[in-house]
Structure 1
Amino acid sequence: MPTYRLDLEYQGTRYRGWQVQENARSIAGEIRRAFEAAGFPIVDLGGSGRTDAGVHALRQTAHLRLREPVEVGRLREAVNSRLPHDIHVLAAARAADSFHARHDAVARSYLYQVARRRTGLAKTFVWWVREPLDPGAMAAAAAGFVGRHDFLRFCERPREQESTIVVVEGTEVAEAGGLILVRLVASHFLWKMVRRVVGALVRAGTGNLAPDALRRILAGEAGEDPECQPARWTAPPSGLFLERVLYPGEPPLGPLLPAVPVGAEKAPPENLFLGREDRIPGEGVRDSASVPSRRAGAKPARPARLRRPSGV
């Protein structure tokens, strides 16, 4: 059975996540429809992980098994022409018959974009936090997640017999214009884990979460302390991106960059003409030679009357 590796990007705003769902649009559902419309019936399609509703992907990886082999260039072109505008196949390649997008992955990387200002262009790709944020405090808190920890308090209803132990291989916090970027790299992630970790980092950045509180949560010592309930801090899905899925032998992650940039707010340049006599309210700046000046205290000229044409 011919097997292919697909690398995809998508905007998750309009979808109920990756997984096919009855009576709801999903990323995998749209991909299946596109392949069938192109005449390539799918036997099996599986992603490296299930992104939640509203979550985006810069590079999701999936395995695809078809009934008949198809030239990869033709496959990619035919499917992209039938996919919605917010889903795109970046690359398609023939893979070993045993390739499995989830089981063969060694790590996943997620990016979260926190906006420090209101944005009219990137609203669906950020979480705008109104309070002032301290990136240094966020980075210090993020370092506390590195290593092997039980993330039971940072996930939503783990599946039966699913371990909540996760090895976080690295964290990174960086400033980029009007954004604070957060990167988390781990062997795998639990449901809503990234969004709750980011929520905790934002609380640390606003000064509302002490480092000891985070340590107690991870150690299972927080109990029912109302100040230590990560479920209450869950960040919205809009700012979350599956950045990349790592497989054996592939190059490491590159520098941390924004998925959708947001520039820092800047004051407009000083208007050098403000207050000058040749500045006419409601109009652009005119050449002073073309604008008659008047003495201070002089009455403004009376506007000319419009004469009605005769016969009208």
Structure 2
Amino acid sequence: MRYFIDLAYDGSLFHGWQIQPNAISVQENLEKALRVAFQKKINVVGAGRTDAGVHAKQLIAHFDVEAKINAPQLKFKLNTLLPKEIAINAIYQVQDETHARFDAVAREYKYYVTTQKNPFVEAYSYYVKKEIDLDLMNEAAKILLTHRDFKCFSKSKTDVYTYNCDIVFAEWIKQEDLLVFTIKADRFLRNMVRAIVGTLIEVGLHKLSIEDFENVIVSRNRSNAGKSVDAKGLFLTKVEYPKTVLI
């Protein structure tokens, strides 16, 4: 039987989602907790990889067991076993062939920028000291929806079969002293959101024009885009699946 785990975590102390040698990961912690709960090794497969320092309000992972489980009981036990930086939101059964990564139809990220020095938000946002043109950044963000190839925003050394992504939503809003960027697509490349945000900030600071921004995309050259902003301001906020995966 296959189950989805819906979890959230503060990525500050972790070297990303995926298990790797000589580094603490979210996946490693989750598999350790499952091993204690089931008294045997349980492998989990995540909907995607978040980089070191990136947070998640919702990441979905799947695991297989032979018998039906008591989901609320397992959720309570895992939350007891896991460190305070990781929380299980829900556990539910899905169709046996459902895959947490390959069956996801959309992923949503949010990035937080603060325009005021604030010790209470500094750990989870990127501080920009100068005034930012929010309207201009939103004008540039709309251009993302008209393109599919985003090699210019991808980490240079990455092994992918395509740089195409279908971005369906990209918008900045102001929440008091915070600027919040929400972006939704079928898939994302490594480092893509942070590179997009860094480039849009250059637009907002009038260092790049709208035309320059589109030329960056067309160039397919990472060196033409802006710098990648800090991981601490990035949150994976939602992973979506077809309703048919549920039992």
Instruction: Tell me the distance in 2 between the aligned counterparts of 1:148 and 1:216.
Output: 11
Partner in structure 2 of residue 168 of structure 1: 167
SS of equivalent residue, structure 2 residue 208: coil
**Contact 1:114–1:239, Cα closer than 8 Å, also in 2:** yes
**Are 1:229 and 2:228 an aligned pair?**
no
Q: Percent identity?
A: 30
Q: CA deviation at 1:68?
A: 4.3
Is the aligned partner of 1:146 residue 2:145? yes
Which structure would you say has the larger RCO, counting Cα contacts within 8 Å and 6 or more residues apart? 2
Q: CA deviation at 1:36?
A: 1.2
- Contact 2:31 2:42 survives alignment (8 Å): no
Indicate the RMSD between aligned Cα atoms, in angstroms.
1.8
Q: Which amino acid aligns with 1:59?
A: Q
**Contact 1:44 1:66 survives alignment (8 Å):** no
In 1, distance between residues paired with 2:95 and 2:190? 29
Bigger Rg over Cα: 1
Query: Corresponding residue for 2:45?
Result: 46
Deviations 1:83-137 (A, max 9, x none): 0001000000111111111111111100000011111112221001111111111
Count of aligned pairs between the two proteins: 244
Inter-partner Cα distance in structure 2 for 1:21 and 1:68:
30
Unaligned residue ranges in structure 2 (runs of 5+): none
Q: For the residues of structure 1 that align with 2:86 and 2:146, how far apart are their CA atoms? A: 34
Q: Residue 183 of structure 1 aligns with which residue?
A: 182
Q: Distance in 2 between matches of 1:5 and 1:48?
A: 10
TM-score normalised by L of structure 2: 0.93
Cα distance in 1 for residues equivalent to 2:195 and 2:37: 40
Kept in 1, the 8 Å contact 2:109–2:237? The answer is yes
1:135-191 CA deviation, whole Å, 9 max, x = no partner? 111111111111332111110136445201111111111000110000011110000
User: Helix, strand or coil for the counterpart of 1:208?
Assistant: coil
Q: Equivalent residue of 1:200, what SS?
A: helix
Q: Distance in 2 between matches of 1:209 and 1:132?
A: 15
Correspondence for 2:95: 96
Q: In the TM superposition, what whole-angstrom CA distance separates every residue of 1:238-269 from its partner, at most 9, and x where no partner exists?
A: 1000010111249xxxxxxxxxxxxxxxxxxx
What TM-score results when the alignment is normalised by the length of structure 1? Answer: 0.74
Flag structure 1 segments of 5+ consecutive residues without an equivalent.
251-312
Which residue among 218, 235, 244 is the counterpart of 2:238? 244
